[in-house]
């Protein structure tokens, strides 16, 4: 009997110790750090032959004609710490919560941002604030509530606004003037440690690494060997003058930490996107009306092309700018307004600086014959003016509804539709729908206007039939009974 009592006491003490240990771990576990995009595929050898210096070959910093100190002093006051609060973290909900009564905890992820105006506009990565319900910005130990101005998944750029005056806006440089081999420093604010600075060189430009998830991903990254570690997403890449030349976004890694290459969105692209979001609430993308691919050695041999520079036209949008100018499939675009096209990255970057309605001169080759044409760039609706896309956001539906644009209609083979995006918990997710689904018919009626569709679904009860197209282009039809 005494042995049984001893055993019961031992079991009870061990159980209580286990509960206490679990509670302690839960309370002191680190908050999630919003990391740069990490990809670990086999990396393609740079097409531009760059002689990367070893540490021994680099001149010592104190022997250089410049110092990183001035660049650091100029840029670090403009880099902020960002906290993203995004609902409950189900992964931390366990049996111990029943004992201690804490319940599911709010998920917090973090990153960095850069102040671009004295009145509080801040640029960061879209993935830093993705799914945020509340955003806070910490600058010089002061915490500000932040308002989301807009996001662009195509470039992984987002803009925030805090209510403050006389903030230290960073000095802007030019990514187009940045040269391969030039020294740069990466400035971040990970873990709210004020600021951290790392140095490296520009290893390559116009780099495409296929990580962005937008409808029209624009990848023309600056590649650098300046270490960009977790928490530095959205931070500043600056030149030795302390001028902002890029927004740090991704790392090449097999471990989750920096192991050799970092990638930044060129600031000329990031600022065009930011200015559009601030002024119009929508990026004013200029569309030439073509799909293009890189020229590979295999394609060059097959098409008898003498150079790997340029891009090959694979599709011409019906009634688009290129179609009206006479471009055809298999044409090889070599220059835009006199600027050489070295690949898809440079093609997309050059176009990103223009607005709908701008006229550009395109030089191309057709069957080894040089030609040129004047194109009037169009917007996503096929016109030439500024657009503000129609959308309807609903907490009840748990989604943002927006009208599909001309390019999407051409790709999906539909005349109209309302697309689902930005999904969270809500009615549409319960129906089994997801981001990218396009509704074309609701109970036999055309789905054209996002607000009309959204309000109809919010108030509907009874038999519901939805028709549309999946993100992969497959038609679907589903029926539901809504009470």
Q: How high is the mean pLDDT in each 10-residue block of the chain (483 residues)?
A: 56 56 46 51 33 38 63 93 72 42 62 95 93 88 91 92 95 94 89 76 88 78 84 90 93 63 93 93 90 93 91 92 95 95 92 94 93 93 79 85 82 88 83 88 92 90 90 86 78
Q: What is the pLDDT of residues 64-78, one digit of tens each?
A: 546 789 999 999 999
On whether the CB atoms of residues 271 and 117 are closer than 8 A, the answer is no
Structure tokens given for 238: 């600056």
Place of tokens 């760039």: 377
Can you tell me which residue has the tokens 């919010």?
458
Place of tokens 């093609």: 347
Asked if residues 202 and 340 have their Cβ atoms less than 8 Å apart, the reply is no
In contact, 26 and 92? CB cutoff 8 Å:
yes
The pLDDT, as a whole number, for residue 410 is 78
Cβ-based burial of 368 (10 A; exposed 0-12, middle 13-18, buried ≥19): exposed
Cα–Cα distance, 408 to 410 (Å, whole number): 5
pLDDT for 426: 85
User: Looking at 109, 233, 274, 394, which residue is catalytic?
Assistant: 233
Q: Which residue has the tokens 């006389």?
A: 166
For the chain, state the CA radius of gyration.
26
81, 189 contact by CB (below 8 A): yes
Catalytic: 94? no
Active-site pick, 152, 156, 268, 276: 156
pTM confidence score: 0.72
Task: Give the Cα separation of 352 and 355 in Å (integer).
Answer: 8
Would you state the pLDDT for residue 253?
64
Q: How far apart are CA 220 and CA 249, in angstroms?
A: 12
* Residue 4, pLDDT score: 56
Q: Would you say 466 and 397 are in contact if contact means Cβ atoms under 8 Å apart? A: no
Q: Cβ distance 359 to 351 under 8 Å?
A: no
First to last CA, the chain: 61
Under 8 Å between Cβ of 420 and 405: no
The b-or-e profile of 289-328 (16+ CB within 10 A means b, else e) is bbbbebbeeeebeeeebeeebbbbbeebbeebbbebbebe
Q: What local confidence, expressed as pLDDT, does residue 257 receive?
A: 57
Report the distance separating Cα 130 and Cα 107, nearest Å: 12
| Residue 244 near residue 264 (C-beta atoms within 8 A) | no
Residue 401 near residue 422 (C-beta atoms within 8 A): no
Catalytic pick from 127, 220, 331, 346? 127
156 catalytic, yes or no?
yes
User: Cα dist. 19→89, 96, 100, 126, 131 in Å?
Assistant: 20, 7, 9, 39, 32
HEC readout, the chain: CHHHHHHHHHHHHHHHHHHHHHHHHHHHCCCCCCCCEEECCCCCCCCCCCCCCCCCCCCCHHHCCCCHHHHHHHHHHHEEEEEEEEEEEHHHCCCHHHHHCCCCEEEEEEEEEEECCCCCEEEEEHHHCCCCCEEEEEECCEEEEEEEEEEECCCCEEEEEECCCCCCCCCECCCCCCCCCCEEEEEECHHHCCCEEEEEEEEEEEECCCCCCCCCCCCCEEEECCCCCCCCCCCEEEECCCCEEEEEEEEECCCCCCCCEEEEEEHHHHHHHHHHHHHHCCCCCCECCEEEEECCHHHHHHHCCCCCCCEEEEEECCCCHHHHHCCCCCCEEEEECCEECCCHHHHHHHHHCCCCCCEEEEEEEECCEEEEEEEECECCCCCCCCCCCCEEEECCCCEEEEECCHHHHHHHCCCCCEEEECCCCCHHHHCCCCCCCEEEEECCEECCCHHHHHHHHHCCCEEEEEEEECCCCCEEEEEEEEC
d(CA 224, CA 203): 5
Do 292 and 313 contact (CB within 8 A), yes or no?
yes
For 41, residues 6+ apart whose C-beta sits below 8 A from its C-beta are: none
Cα distances (Å, whole numbers) of residue 99 to 16, 18, 87, 96, 347: 11, 12, 22, 5, 59
């Amino acid at each position: 009997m005494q042995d049984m009592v001893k055993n019961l006491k031992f079991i009870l003490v061990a159980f209580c110790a286990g509960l206490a240990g679990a509670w302690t771990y839960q309370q002191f576990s680190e908050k999630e750090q919003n990391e740069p995009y990490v990809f670990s595929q086999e990396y393609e050898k740079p097409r531009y032959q760059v002689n990367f210096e070893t540490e021994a070959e680099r001149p010592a910093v104190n022997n250089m004609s410049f110092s990183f100190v001035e660049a650091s002093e100029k840029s670090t006051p403009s880099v902020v710490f960002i906290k993203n609060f995004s609902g409950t973290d189900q992964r931390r909900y366990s049996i111990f919560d029943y004992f201690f009564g804490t319940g599911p905890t709010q998920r917090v992820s973090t990153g960095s941002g850069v102040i671009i105006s004295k009145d509080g506009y801040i640029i960061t990565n879209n993935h830093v604030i993705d799914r945020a319900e509340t955003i806070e910005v910490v600058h010089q130990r002061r915490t500000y509530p932040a308002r989301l101005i807009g996001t662009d998944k195509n470039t992984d750029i987002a803009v925030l606004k805090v209510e403050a005056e006389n903030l230290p806006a960073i000095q802007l440089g030019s990514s187009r003037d940045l040269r391969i081999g030039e020294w740069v420093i990466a400035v971040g604010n990970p873990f709210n440690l004020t600021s951290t600075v790392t140095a490296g060189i520009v290893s390559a430009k116009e780099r495409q690494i296929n990580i962005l998830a937008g409808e029209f991903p624009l990848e023309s990254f600056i590649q650098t060997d300046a270490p960009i570690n977790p928490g530095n997403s959205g931070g500043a890449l600056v030149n030795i003058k302390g001028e902002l030349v890029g927004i740090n976004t991704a790392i090449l890694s097999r471990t989750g930490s920096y192991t050799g290459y970092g990638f930044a969105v060129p600031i000329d692209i990031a600022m065009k996107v930011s200015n559009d979001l601030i002024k119009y609430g929508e990026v004013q993308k200029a569309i030439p009306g073509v799909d293009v691919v890189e020229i590979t050695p295999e394609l060059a041999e097959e098409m008898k092309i003498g150079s790997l520079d340029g891009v090959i036209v694979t599709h011409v949008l019906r009634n688009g700018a290129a179609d009206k100018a006479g471009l055809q499939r298999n044409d090889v675009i070599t220059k835009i307004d006199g600027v050489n096209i070295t690949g898809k990255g440079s093609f997309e970057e050059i176009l990103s600086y223009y607005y709908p309605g701008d006229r550009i001169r395109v030089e191309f080759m057709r069957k080894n014959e040089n030609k040129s044409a004047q194109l009037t760039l169009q917007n996503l609706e096929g016109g030439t003016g500024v657009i503000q896309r129609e959308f309807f956001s609903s907490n009840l539906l748990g989604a943002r509804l927006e009208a599909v644009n001309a390019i999407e209609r051409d790709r999906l083979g539909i005349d109209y539709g309302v697309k689902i995006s930005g999904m969270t918990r809500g009615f549409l997710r319960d129906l089994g729908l997801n981001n990218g689904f396009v509704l074309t018919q609701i109970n036999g009626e055309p789905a054209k206007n996002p607000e009309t569709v959204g309000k109809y679904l919010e108030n509907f009860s009874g038999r519901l039939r939805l028709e549309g197209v999946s993100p992969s282009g497959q038609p679907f039809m589903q029926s539901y009974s809504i009470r």
